[in-house]
Amino acid sequence: MNIIIASNNQGKISEYSQLLATVGFSRVLSLEQAGINCVPEENGSSFEQNAVIKARALKELCGADHAVIADDSGLEIDALGGQPGIYSARFGGLKSDFDRNALVLQKLEGVPKNERGARFVCVICFILPDGEEITVRGECDGYIGFEPLGDNGFGYDPIFMYNQAPFCERSFAQINAADKNKISHRAKALDALLCELKMRRS
């Protein structure tokens, strides 16, 4: 069974392909590979709403022959009242990861470590060929560091400090991709999705 993902990110597509193959989805197609242009307005007030908006818009375009999957993710910082949240990719109206990280660090200047709690959130909406929807959520807890660390990853990875073994006190940008994909918010959401799909197959 084929599935179309609301993304053209090859890293994300590869990750989804490997995991979804275990539950019978033999091929994962990007929007480009499927010949679909789908850029709906993400005007929801939560990660859940935006993931559903993207998945439903894609499902309307590809019909009953395919399953579809879409996700929405971001960073929530306790000391900033949950910001940047669903606006993570455009926080402060800034265009670069470097500038957005600098803005976060500026806003947290003087805030002690024990008040810099944060979490990455990923919500996945999966729509089966028959239209049944499954929505799952994954979170990864940590805190915001005091300076960017590491050269791996993207987005807020250099300032997001992981605080669980075996990677305590390391930023996401200091953890290699293979290890990060085992502990990340997306990995946890995908695990939840796979459990749901396996239950339906049993």
CA 58 → CA 131, 136, 158, 187, distances in Å? 12, 18, 32, 22
Cα–Cα distance, 167 to 133 (Å, whole number): 35
Beta-bridge mates of residue 126 = 69, 134
Residue 72 designated active-site: yes
Q: Which of 65, 71, 72, 179 is catalytic?
A: 72
Q: Which is nearest to 90 in space by CA: 81, 100, 78?
A: 100
Beta bridge partners of 127: 68, 133
Round to whole Å and give the CA distance between 202 and 192: 16
Active site residues: 72
